[in-house]
Amino acid sequence: MDNNLLYMILGVIATIIVGYWGIKYASRYKTRVCILYFENSCISLFKSVVKELDELEIKFKNETVNENLITYKGTFFNSGNTDIDKNLIHNPLKVILPKNYEWKKVKIIDNSKDVDIQIENNLNELIFSWEILKENEYFTFDSVIEYKPEPNSDENPTSSDSSITRELSRKIAFEQRITHLKSIEKERIPSKPKSLISQIIYTLWIFGFALLGLYFSAGQFVLPDYKTTYEVEIDSSLSYVTFENKGANQIQLIDSLGNDFIVADIKRVNNNMLTGNVKIEKENLNYGELIGGGIAAVIMLLLTIFLSIEYINDKRLYEQIKEIAEKYDFSEF
């Protein structure tokens, strides 16, 4: 296959790739309304403490609690790239407990500066309202939940492998009507980004391909190739040509335009054709390498920038959530 055709095909493929990455990047970083929810802690007090100590008694509001009490903390984090104000909220955010669970007490224990959260407690659901929750702002609530199993009911989450806390964590649900917010991202904690050293090595590896593309494209102007040409006389006409072997005793003469000039016997060239004049000429531009290498270089440079920005954003988000979660010993970190 002709090299120029090959480079043109590679250029088309590279164009498709850069278009794909451009669309993917634009899609990811367009306006996104997202709320991330993660559970800080869920501890059954009655099961883990009272059950082991018969003499211990738990009272809530001066009443003895004979069922399971659970302390539950959760955090809502605006992980999108836009603010969520009251104009976007058509129905406020609700947190709904599974069957047989009931909120006993709830309060906000942590929040971003100037975030004002109102809570409404309707036994098995909480309603959170706010004026505005800006990008990367959050609030954390603490609560006491009571589990009340139905008498003589076969549904008992403490049976089999699940506990009342696992049942609560698994079945707690959310409702909302916030513009462009499809759902609450429950328990999707960002994974820890790769180390800085790994990111640098990965980025340099991709950047190396960008430099390789620049070498094949812009390198033709900065570091051009040169060729040695020889003057020959053919039919009383003088021309400068380059030589290429065509076998043990024949030479292909190629003119300055790269066209095959003539195939001659080596003895004829030595005895009758060479005039003895030699000069050095700059190689013609290889447009296949120029286009293919240029597009490849642009792709790799854009990819390097995209991945670097993505790493910085992921790292920042992880550190922000880690700082919030560590206040309450969230084990995922």
Q: What is the pLDDT of residue 98?
A: 92
Q: Which helix (H) or strand (E) holds 19?
A: helix 3-28
Q: What is the pLDDT of residue 1?
A: 46
Token readout for 150 is 């139905």
189 in a domain, yes or no? no
**Which DSSP letter does residue 50 get?**
G
Average pLDDT over residues 58-80: 77
| Whole-number Å distance between alpha carbons of 67 and 51 | 10
- In this predicted structure, which of 35-39, 73-77, 131-135, 252-256 has the lowest mean pLDDT? 252-256
Contacts of 200 by beta carbon, 8 Å cutoff, 6+ apart = none
Tally of CB atoms within 10 A around 215: 15
Average pLDDT, the chain: 78
| Whole-number Å distance between alpha carbons of 287 and 216 | 10
Q: What is the pLDDT of residue 35?
A: 92
Assign 7 a pLDDT band (cuts: 50, 70, 90): low
38 in a domain, yes or no? yes
Token readout for 156 is 């008992």
pLDDT tens for 180-229 read 898 888 865 566 777 888 888 888 888 887 888 787 777 777 777 788 88
Cβ 85 vs Cβ 131: under 8 Å: yes
Contacts of 231 by beta carbon, 8 Å cutoff, 6+ apart = 238, 239, 240, 274, 275, 276, 277, 278, 279
Give the structural domain span for 72.
Answer: 32-179
Nearest alpha-carbon partner for 277 in 226, 244, 228, 227: 228
pLDDT exceeds cutoff 60 at 5: no
pLDDT exceeds cutoff 60 at 119: yes
323 in a domain, yes or no? no
In degrees and rounded to multiples of 5, residue 315 shows phi and psi of: -65, -45
Longest dimension (CA), the chain: 121
253 in a domain, yes or no? no
Query: How far does CA 102 lie from the centroid of its chain?
Result: 39
Look at the pTM and tell me if it is higher than 0.75: no
Task: Break the chain down into helix, strand, coil percent, rounded to 5.
Answer: 35, 35, 30
Average pLDDT over residues 308-330: 79
* Per-residue CA distances from 326 to 129, 318, 322, 323 (Å): 25, 12, 6, 5
Assign 69 a pLDDT band (cuts: 50, 70, 90): confident
190 in a domain, yes or no? no
Q: To the nearest whole percent, how much of the chain has pLDDT over 70?
A: 76
Residue 242 β-bridge partners: 254
Rg (C-alpha) for the chain, rounded Å, is 36
Average pLDDT over residues 243-257: 77
Q: Give the amino acid at 14.
A: A
Assign 331 a pLDDT band (cuts: 50, 70, 90): very low
283 in a domain, yes or no? no
| Whole-number Å distance between alpha carbons of 210 and 208 | 5
224 in a domain, yes or no? no
Assign 307 a pLDDT band (cuts: 50, 70, 90): confident
**Which DSSP letter does residue 184 get?**
-
Cβ 160 vs Cβ 11: under 8 Å: no
Number of domains comprising the chain: 1
Q: Is 328 left (phi over 0), alpha (psi -120 to 50) or beta?
A: alpha
Supply the CATH number for residue 127's domain. 2.60.40.1170
**The 250-254 sheet, strands edge to edge:** 260-265, 250-254, 237-245, 226-234, 274-282
Q: What is the DSSP string of 214-250?
A: HHHTTHHHHS--EEEEEEEEETTEEEEEEEEE-SSSE
pLDDT tens for 133-183 read 999 899 999 999 988 877 665 555 444 335 788 888 889 999 999 998 988
Average pLDDT over residues 296-318: 82
Q: What is the pLDDT of residue 320?
A: 82
Average pLDDT over residues 39-48: 75
47 in a domain, yes or no? yes
Average pLDDT over residues 42-51: 64
| Whole-number Å distance between alpha carbons of 249 and 35 | 78
| Whole-number Å distance between alpha carbons of 28 and 156 | 43
